[in-house]
Structure 1
Amino acid sequence: MADVRKSIATFVFRHRILVTGVVAALTVFFAAGLPNVTIKTIFSDLLPVGHPFAETFRDHPNFGNPLTVSIMVKRKDGDIYSTETLQKVWDLTRDIDLAPAVDHDQVLSITTPKARYAEATPFGIDMRPLMGDEVPQTAEGIADFKTRVNRSPNVRGFLVSPDGSATLVQATFIEQNLDYGETFEFVQNLVEEARDENHEIHAAGQPMLTGWVYRYQFQMLLIFGVTLAALFIALFLYMRNVAGVVTPFITGVVSAIWGFGFVGWLDLAVEPLLLLVPLLLVARAFSHTVQYIERFYEILAVVKDKDRAGEIALRVMMGPGTLGIITDAAAILLIIIAPVPAMQRFALFCGFWAMILIPTSLFLAPLILSALPLPRNLSDIVDRDGGGGGIHRVMAKFLGGVAALTYGRKAIPTGIAMVIFGAVTATIGWQIKVGNPVEGSSLLWHDSEFNVAVRQINNFFPGVNTLEIVLESKEVGEGSLERTARKAETVHTMLTLQDYMERAPDAPRATLSFADYLGASVRLYNGGDPRWVPLGFEDSDTQAAASASMMGSGPKAFSHVVDMKQQNATVSFWYKDNKQETVDDALRHAREAVEKVGVEHENFIVRLGSGTIALQQAVNDTVEANYWEIVLFLNLMMFVLASFAFKSFIAALILLVPVNMSNFVIVASMSLMGVGLDINSVLVAAVGVGVGIDYGIYLLARIVEEYDNQEGDFGRIIHEAVTTTGRAIAFTATIMLIGIMPWYFLSGLKFLADMGLLLGLVMLINMMMSLLVLPLLIWFIKPKFVQRNDLIVCEHVDLSRYQQEG
């Protein structure tokens, strides 16, 4: 294998023009795909394929559709029953009906024809709109309107708050036409224009949440710019030479062009919240390049020739660098096992980007370094005692102190401390919550406009979070005239489900089904006598009640509870929030209710479920199952690769111990920070695992290389490895921490701020686990594989021979 590495390194430097030309041509090719890059959210792609809840939503998207915006109009100094307030509701309703991608059939407020009250006439029950063609202008007209609202039980509580001080305007959007940014700006402008001294206006719903993320995109890019600037400043202060700063810059830019160009050519949409992962990959390009630069300068100080130093460094770093990059990429690519289209696109995009660091950071970096001027401060950079002063002296003292803790007499107390630390973090890590730990969204700060809106709507109305249990007709043919939702068995199943859920502990705030309309109509038809509310058990009874209820209105007025053909229906349950505890309780009781009524019926089946509660759980179930699968498969993959590369199972175990300790520390940190595992944070956590393994690979490869140089003295071996290769590890982790920490103070997105803290911890944790735990294991085990000279990933180079030749 050493001969292969030598041949490749020789070829690269002998044909540098060819290699550079190939890289340049590929860069131009990928750059041509950049104009096609699309950054957007596709809601349905965030839902797992095959999960029963997600499939129920896909089959019945109108029931509990999360793509609904709720705008609350609240009167500050009284109730809504004034011409001023009702006119504002009227205007908002008509204006939002002009919003991009709105479903005109699903705009609802007390000023739309769908909001109706029932009135008995000599000819039967007449379902009339609450409001006519204009807003009431007189006191008598206002009083009459208020009376009509009070006679409509399914308007009170759902569209008008119990105290009468607030009302809702709701609009559902068509996903295929939805541009979140455009729609959000349209709706947000309406909200801001409608606010005045007498009215509070709040807007919530998934389109608004995603819209806020879109609005913060420019801020995210500015923060990323601050991060990159901080990285370059730290790089300049550390390297203090042209080659050491320019080389990581070029490799980072080239890798970014290849990565984004790749998704551009494939026309893959990039999720906005996941843009921080490409930034991490730019940092990984920096990290691998800095590892090579450090070794290049170390060799250059001996052999005094740039080309020869570059070739030798490439031979030495090719093995650990390739293995480290492959494990980085594998940690991302394994995310593709999660059956969530957005995650799979992410895995393909970022996995490819991680893999291209082999040509950009391993093979391009040596050619750049060999073409740039020799650094004048070479002796300062390679001085392990920090004689150059400044940051080099601080780092030398730090690494010397860390190394001293991992061998000799200090190793035992250090080892005990690491065992205790690992046990504590593993205990905390196992308690990580999956899902949303807060009311509203953990993506935004608690006092953000969106989360305030969610809390306000939850205070005055049943809320914005629903759970749907769908009664799906078995008669689904196009020409079918079977109105399953009108049948007695269907209607009474709805009522049984509602009754069970309303009696359960932590009952929903409100329930609604098609059956609620039928009972109210029968009662009205019989003079308002409440004894007529219970429905009969014959199909003729419920069919008559349905006909009475829908008299004077079309099926669109009931589309939130039954489809246009009255074949499929839903029972809706509203909950106070979407915290994971609420979700768990709601679904547990819903499963019990479905079990009580049974799934299979003669004409229909009962499907759980849809709505925000069920869809959130669908994602959580997938994340929880697949995260640990990803970690397991990643461990297996790293074990196989490391065993093959180092020709030792012990080597693989030595690498995996600090990586898994780091993973538990990361997950424990998320738990303590109140950050749950979800579709966004799980991806960052997976990347963190890959970061840790390549730190360990570089360090272990250097330990193997130093065995002969230090005559088998493990104390000297560990000290030499930690103070040389460990310097690049410590530097890249430190500069990433410096670059990421501003996120917490600058970001309007709580998610980005939390990920800034988390990634800072990822870097520090992986650095310390690599520099402390791995050397400790080497010291206590003293493995025999470090004595071998035929390892695939390592190469022993006698620099004194090159010095003599020079």
Structure 2
Amino acid sequence: MATVANTNDVEAMPVVRNIKDFDQKSGNLLERLVFNNRRLMIFFSVVITLFLAWQATHLVVNAGYEKMLPQEHPYIQNYFKYQNDLRGLGNSIRVVVEHVDGDIFDPDYLETLRQINDELFLTPGVDRAWMKSLWTPSVRWTEVTEDGFAGGPLISGTYNGSQLSIDELKMNIDRAGIVGQLVANDFKSSMIFVPLLNKDSKTGASLDYSIFSKMIETNVRDKYEFSRALEKQVEDKQTDKIRIHVVGFAKLVGDLIDGIVRVMVFFLFAAVIAAVLIYIYTRCIRSTVLVLGCSMVAIIWQLGIVNALGFELDPYSVLVPFLIFAIGVSHGAQKMNGIMQDVGRGTHKLVAARYTFRRLFLAGLTALMADAVGFAVLMLIDIPVIQDLALTASVGVGVLIFTNLLLLPVLLSFTGVSTEAAARSLKEEQEESSGRGLGSLWAKLDRFTERRWAIGAIASMLVIATAGFLVSQHLKIGDLEPGAPELRVDSRYNRDNAYITDHYSLSSDLFAVIVQTPAEGCLKYETLMEADRLAWELKQLPSVQTTVALSDAVRLITAGTYEGSMKWLTISRNQDVLNYGAQQATVNNPDLFNADCSVFPVIAYLSDHKSETLEQVVRVASEFAEKHSSADVEFLLAAGNAGVEAATNIVVKKAWREMLFLVYAAVIVLCFITFRSWRAVIVAVLPLVVTSILCEALMVLLDIGVKVSTLPVIALGVGIGVDYALYLLSVQLTQQRQGLSLAKAYKNTLQFTGKVVALIGVTLAAGVVTWTFSPIKFQADMGILLTFMFILNMLGALILIPAISHFLLPTHRVVRSK
């Protein structure tokens, strides 16, 4: 996006009606290179577009589990180091099979559960050895008898569906102590725990969550759930008793990817809205089509390049092309506006295109660089999914430099604009100069150059900014709601999560502290006692439902060895007793420690994964680890999905302020290079600061936390929002340096750039406001916040720039610093 030329610029360029009267060798080297080779440039553009369009057809949408993690954070490094020893604490899903009209002790239900268990066991991407359900042999019962310990799988090999077998299962479930974990508290459902492999062991390819989610829907939900079965008129009467609930990262990402298909409709809406706005402004069909076409070409190039570089789109970066489209349309409107003005004065369309190129290219390039800054700083955040978003967006901005700053003027030099549209543009310009039409609005905005109005505007800004700052102090890091905040509250995933939370004692939010010792060190009395003390401290937190550790299992086995005497419900100092306890414990729960007994987790089951909950658990666990870690026993944070999220929150909190500092530092440097005045930099940046503060306040009011999905928003808003100041101030300062008063300079600026600045703000907002209807909630949140920032930045520029200029940029100071 770039500024429209001021009056003197237009007058300095003579009207050339006949192309023969124009010096083809005039202009700078880039202009001559572009316009003297127009056909060749268009030919290569078509070839590149076709090639990249073919590349774009191979682009896939996916999201890797590890790409969501802050790779260099110590917690994540610890998790990566020991993830093979803690297979049950990584990426997984939980499938709950509910019996709608009865309980789980129905033979028909158990048979259906077995079939579902087998379907999941054979699903590609499942870590089969660690699956747990009523039907897996890894889930066992144990009891103490007169002859010692007895145990076995929950459903024995003699199970035949008889009442005797059912009674035996009831007893085994009670002896196994899995009610509230794998069996619902009301016995109306049971859970299948399904750990996943992040990569295929044969091919090394990452798990495709879209395909995996569809397999779960097709092979499990569609096949066995009663509502789907009835729709397909399945004759098996058992299916009308089953309801399936599925939660976990893989299912969440699968649902997000499915929602992307519907999000594509919003792109169509954005394109239609942009087309309508551009046409209303120009009343020229051919130029409107070219502006939209070049923006579409930019998206094709962007997607093709992203695929050629070996990257994928994910639910977080899939909206970036929509944003690039809106930015491209806004830039195109500037080029079209400049050509329309010159053609209206009688200049030949090719000459008009070259005039517009001369006036707008550098300003447009600077504005695009400011846009790129907002994306580029995101590369510094240690979360691959954010870095991919930054790369995708940076590629898009780079492409816009060619498609909208170079290709579009060339195309317009062939087509021009309609005679009626050019005449209408000139007429409106003359009316505005005389105070009619939009000129009356510019006259009102011009008042902000007066002291009384300037003081009022600045005072209002300070009051609003102060109030916003006080509200923004309550901004939270991470998720603020239970379930998956990325989806709507009434989404199938969140309804499934709510069911599981209501019917099971233990949540799916696990925070694990990794205890690392020398080989066989986990069996030592001192080690078990330290782990037990950590578990006890974590249990004191209201947000911790319970804890599970090797020390708990050893204590129970020890008591069972002595006929269940409560006096022996302790951790013995006798090493032989501890060895036997650990041996028996691992029979029923093999993931209590690793093969050489050098690593075991202390797992805390949390009531939720809200930011306050995670902060409390991290504080207690980290303080304990700092005090009690030694050469023989080391407590390392963290594993489990809540541990991973806690690390992510820490990185996001740190990156939030660093990102804002960097984006503002870069914008300040760009503004200083452009204006060569520190006063002008303050005038340009202050409205952005106010908008950033108010955006944070809006996040508080809407209960939106700072997390991976919202982290990029303010950086993008600042990078793109500074364009308005570049448009207005560049013209204003040029006129002031020629001796015009601030009031006159700003009035002329509004006449030549006011409409376009307003159009840009409305177009950008219209391009993202449709996101608010997305079924994916974090995309809707991004739409709300970006719309707010684009509109507020536009209004702030139109009102605050003249007001602040009254005090910092009076004409005598501008002329003196010329």
After TM superposition, the score normalised by the length of structure 2 is 0.88
Query: What is the aligned counterpart of 1:50 among 72, 78, 83?
Result: 72
Structure 1 letter corresponding to 2:225: R
Q: Matches of residues 218-617 of structure 1 in structure 2 within 5 Å?
A: 218-302=261-345, 304-375=347-418, 376-384=420-428, 398-407=441-450, 409-461=452-504, 462-474=506-518, 482-502=519-539, 504-550=540-586, 553=587, 558-595=589-626, 598-602=628-632, 604-617=633-646
- 1:38 matches 2:60: yes
Separation in 2 of the partners of 1:436 and 1:102?
28
Separation in 1 of the partners of 2:782 and 2:158?
50
Structure 1 unaligned runs (5+)? 475-481, 792-806
The offset of 1:199, in angstroms, is 4.3
Structure 1 residues 789, 244: closer, same or farther in 2, change over 3 A? farther
Q: Matches of residues 687-766 of structure 1 in structure 2 within 5 Å?
A: 687-707=716-736, 711-745=739-773, 747-766=774-793
Structure 1 letter corresponding to 2:661: L
The offset of 1:713, in angstroms, is 1.9
Match of 2:203 in 1: none
Separation in 2 of the partners of 1:527 and 1:217?
59
Query: What is the aligned counterpart of 1:129 among 148, 153, 157?
Result: 153
Structure 1 letter corresponding to 2:224: A
Q: Deviations over 1:389-426 (max 9, x none)?
A: xxx99866555543444546433322221222222223
Query: What is the aligned counterpart of 1:660 among 679, 683, 689?
Result: 689
The offset of 1:51, in angstroms, is 0.8
Structure 2 unaligned runs (5+)? 1-8, 10-24, 201-206, 227-239
Match of 1:101 in 2: 125
Match of 2:15 in 1: none
Query: What is the aligned counterpart of 2:199 among 176, 187, 195?
Result: 176
Query: What is the aligned counterpart of 1:156 among 156, 179, 198?
Result: 179
Separation in 2 of the partners of 1:9 and 1:790?
31
Match of 2:188 in 1: 165
The offset of 1:33, in angstroms, is 3.3
Query: What is the aligned counterpart of 1:201 among 244, 257, 280?
Result: 244
The offset of 1:218, in angstroms, is 0.9
Separation in 2 of the partners of 1:749 and 1:209?
11
Match of 1:12 in 2: 34
Separation in 2 of the partners of 1:186 and 1:121?
45
Structure 1 residues 591, 754: closer, same or farther in 2, change over 3 A? same
Structure 2 letter corresponding to 1:162: N
The offset of 1:386, in angstroms, is 9.4
Kindly indicate whether the alpha-carbon contact (under 8 Å) linking 2:88 and 2:195 is maintained by their aligned counterparts in 1.
no
Kindly indicate whether the alpha-carbon contact (under 8 Å) linking 1:331 and 1:634 is maintained by their aligned counterparts in 2.
yes
Structure 1 letter corresponding to 2:129: D
Separation in 1 of the partners of 2:156 and 2:136?
9
Q: Deviations over 1:99-118 (max 9, x none)?
A: 22111112111221111111
Separation in 1 of the partners of 2:162 and 2:535?
40
Q: Deviations over 1:30-66 (max 9, x none)?
A: 4453244232101101111221211122122235534
- 1:72 matches 2:96: yes
Structure 1 residues 539, 394: closer, same or farther in 2, change over 3 A? farther
Separation in 2 of the partners of 1:485 and 1:173?
26
Kindly indicate whether the alpha-carbon contact (under 8 Å) linking 1:63 and 1:468 is maintained by their aligned counterparts in 2.
no
Match of 1:113 in 2: 137
Separation in 2 of the partners of 1:659 and 1:5?
35
Match of 1:60 in 2: 82
The offset of 1:730, in angstroms, is 0.9
Quick check: 576-585 or 295-304, which moved more? 295-304
Match of 2:108 in 1: 84
Structure 2 letter corresponding to 1:713: S
Kindly indicate whether the alpha-carbon contact (under 8 Å) linking 1:12 and 1:19 is maintained by their aligned counterparts in 2.
yes
Match of 2:21 in 1: none
Structure 1 letter corresponding to 2:59: V
Separation in 2 of the partners of 1:494 and 1:166?
33
Separation in 1 of the partners of 2:270 and 2:147?
73
The offset of 1:295, in angstroms, is 2.4
Separation in 2 of the partners of 1:411 and 1:248?
37
Separation in 2 of the partners of 1:37 and 1:386?
50
Structure 1 residues 565, 393: closer, same or farther in 2, change over 3 A? farther
Match of 1:677 in 2: 706
Structure 1 residues 708, 757: closer, same or farther in 2, change over 3 A? same
The offset of 1:384, in angstroms, is 4.5
Q: CA RMSD in A?
A: 2.7
The offset of 1:198, in angstroms, is 4.2
Separation in 1 of the partners of 2:618 and 2:26?
59
Quick check: 201-210 or 526-535, which moved more? 526-535
Kindly indicate whether the alpha-carbon contact (under 8 Å) linking 1:665 and 1:765 is maintained by their aligned counterparts in 2.
no
Match of 1:799 in 2: none
Separation in 2 of the partners of 1:383 and 1:468?
71
Separation in 1 of the partners of 2:299 and 2:385?
20
The offset of 1:146, in angstroms, is 1.0
The offset of 1:756, in angstroms, is 2.1
Structure 1 residues 589, 431: closer, same or farther in 2, change over 3 A? same
Quick check: 521-530 or 576-585, which moved more? 521-530
Separation in 1 of the partners of 2:291 and 2:527?
67
Separation in 2 of the partners of 1:690 and 1:519?
59
Identity of aligned residues (%): 21
Structure 1 residues 416, 49: closer, same or farther in 2, change over 3 A? same
The offset of 1:29, in angstroms, is 5.2
Separation in 1 of the partners of 2:345 and 2:734?
17
Separation in 1 of the partners of 2:700 and 2:430?
39
The offset of 1:219, in angstroms, is 0.5
Q: Deviations over 1:148-186 (max 9, x none)?
A: 111122x23321233433321110111113211111122
- 1:629 matches 2:629: no
Kindly indicate whether the alpha-carbon contact (under 8 Å) linking 1:386 and 1:394 is maintained by their aligned counterparts in 2.
no
Structure 1 residues 634, 736: closer, same or farther in 2, change over 3 A? closer
